[in-house]
């Protein structure tokens, strides 16, 4: 998983469905050692999954490794998927709800535009005076 990789399968998006998240995590590159450990230099793929799991579950890396004790990497990927889905589902649902409420979005944009104009007005007035447009 990588936020800088141009491949969409290498990035979990907030708006991804639970199935898409599970597929991306399942296909994440790991190594041939089945034990889950945290070793960023020696096992970067598995360590990345541990970091994602820890962040999604709001736990430390050590706790994530302890939760994986006795699991092979395939089973651990399922655990990571579950943690990510649990963390992102309420956010994804709220984004979908907001995207469906066009009137609300228009009102938010209008308020923002008015606030920006109010903030910019004094500076714009000063610039116009200095340039000689007033």
User: What 3-state DSSP class applies to 12?
Assistant: coil
Cα–Cα–Cα angle for 14, 20, 21, rounded to 5 degrees: 60
0.75 cut: is pTM over it? yes
Domain boundaries, the chain: 8-100, 101-134
Cα-trace Rg, the chain: 23
CB atoms within 10 A of CB 132: 6
Indicate the CATH number for domain 8-100: 1.10.240.10
Yes or no: say if 50 and 38 are a contact pair by the CB < 8 Å rule.
yes
* pLDDT tens track for 89-107: 999 999 999 999 999 999 9
* pLDDT tens track for 17-50: 999 999 999 999 998 888 999 999 999 999 999 9
């Amino acid at each position: 998983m990588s936020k800088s990789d141009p491949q969409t399968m290498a990035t979990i998006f907030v708006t991804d469905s639970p199935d898409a998240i599970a597929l991306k995590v399942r296909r994440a590159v790991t190594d041939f050692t089945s034990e889950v450990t945290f070793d960023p230099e020696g096992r970067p793929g598995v360590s990345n999954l541990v970091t994602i799991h820890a962040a999604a579950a709001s736990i430390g890396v050590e706790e994530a490794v302890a939760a994986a004790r006795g699991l092979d990497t395939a089973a651990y990927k399922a655990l990571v998927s579950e943690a990510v889905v649990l963390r992102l589902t309420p956010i994804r649902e709220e984004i979908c709800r907001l995207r469906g409420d066009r009137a609300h979005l228009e009102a938010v944009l209008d308020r923002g535009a008015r606030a920006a104009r109010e903030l910019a007005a004094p500076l714009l007035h000063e610039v116009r005076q200095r340039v000689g447009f007033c």
